[in-house]
Amino acid sequence: MRSFAFLQGLDRDLQENLLKQLRDLWTHTSTALEGNTLTLGETKFVIEEGLTVSGKPIKDHQEVIGHAKAIEILYNLLDKPVTEQDLFDLHKAVQTEIVSDIYKPHGAWKVEPNGTYAVNKEGKQTFIEYAFPSDVPSLMNQWLITINQYNSENLSLDTVIEAYAKIHMGFVHVHPFWDGNGRIARLLANLPLLKSGHAPMVIDSTNRKEYIEVLAEYQLEIGTLDKNTDLWPDESLLKPFIDFCKTSYQTTLDLIANAKKQQKKRDAKK
């Protein structure tokens, strides 16, 4: 079991249970943001027991198992620089529904343009065009350089949450894969947190509307990225997402506080 700063002072079983809680909540919230119907309790059951929940789609079971596997892959990345192949491996883990379609590659960059509709500040429908396939390798090289720079430093909590927001936003703005980008972004953006000894960020699915809106607002302001642009042309526009992330991190802090409260009760009885 890895030794993170946020686990210090806890008995071994409390450390293990806190890591499991974080794994299950992280998996549940990230997949639920994408429409997964399993509850937190069902997610825990599927991961720990390897059994199915009656009436729930097989796809939903595969997604949570794949995400839990991806978390283990992520922990293994703490000991090395992140590479392009690591991103492909994570894509294979989270993208459990393998489609036999050359236009939907499994563990490789997208080959077709992608985008999404959004509603802007004026209440009008508009289209967010993500980076074109030909621009993805150059943009993701920028992204890899940046995340590895963050991973080489021991960052304070406030600074590392800002890093989380920047890494997350950069990834989803490029949208380098045909599917699974959100889940992978929410995994990888946690590397700087974990490298600095902090617990991972989880974004509650109940905040899905605000989350989608703050991402879209930034992407509409910046516009489509290409290989001739900086990946983050105006970092001042990241502030609303940074603020959202700082608020979201309270869920993680609450889990840690509960574990420490349990430890305090134990210590009082010794």
181 is in an annotated binding site: yes
Q: Could you tell me the residue range of the domain that residue 118 belongs to?
A: 5-268
pLDDT computed for residue 93 by the predictor: 92
User: Is 186 within any annotated ligand binding site?
Assistant: yes
CATH number for the domain including 77? Answer: 1.10.3290.10
Number of domains in the chain: 1
Nearest-10 crossing angle of helices 12-32, 58-76: 130
**Annotated binding-site residue? 184:** yes
pLDDT of 233 reads 96
- Which member of 61, 67, 175, 198 is catalytic? 175
| Cα distances (angstroms) measured from residue 82 to each of 3, 68, 150 | 20, 19, 11
Residue 217 — pLDDT band, cuts 50, 70, 90? very high
pLDDT for residue 151: 96
Identify whether 91 is a catalytic site residue: no
Asked if residue 182 belongs to a known ligand binding site, the reply is yes
Q: Amino acid identity, residue 13?
A: D
260: which 2 tokens?
């420490």
Confidence of residue 1 (pLDDT cuts 50, 70, 90): low
Residue with the bigger pLDDT between 104 and 234: it is 234
pLDDT above 80 for 100: no
Instruction: Report long-range pairs for 216-219 (Cβ below 8 Å, ≥24 apart).
Output: 216/116, 216/118, 216/119, 216/120, 216/128, 217/120, 217/121, 218/169, 218/173, 219/118, 219/128, 219/172, 219/173
